[in-house]
Amino acid sequence: MTNESAPAQYLTFILGDEVFGMEIRTVREIIQHSAMTVVPLMPAFVRGIINLRGAVVPVIDLKSRFGRGNVAVSGKTCVVIFDAVQNGETTELGLMVDAVSEVLEIAASDIEPPPQFGSSIARDFIHGLGKVKGEFIVLLAAEHVLNVDDMTLLAEQAP
pTM, full prediction: 0.80
Residue 74 corresponds to which amino acid? Answer: S
pLDDT one-digit tens code per residue, 123-148: 667 889 999 988 999 998 877 666 65
CATH number for position 146: 2.40.50.180
Tally of domains within the chain: 1
Q: Nearest to residue 13, comparing CAs of 70, 57, 79, 107?
A: 79
* Reported confidence tier of residue 110, pLDDT bands at 50, 70, 90: very high
Domain that includes residue 63, residue range: 8-154
Angle 105-33-121 from CA coordinates, rounded to 5°: 55
Residue 159 lies in a domain: no
Q: Helices (H), strands (E): how many in the chain? A: 3, 11
Q: Is residue 2 domain-resident?
A: no
pLDDT digits (tens, 9 = 90+) for 5-46: 678 999 999 998 899 999 999 899 999 998 999 988 888 888
Residue 1: inside a domain, yes or no? no
- Max CA-CA distance within the chain? 49
* Residue 3 covered by a domain: no
pLDDT of residue 48 exceeding 90, the answer is yes
| Helix residue ranges, H only, the chain | 62-65, 142-145, 148-157
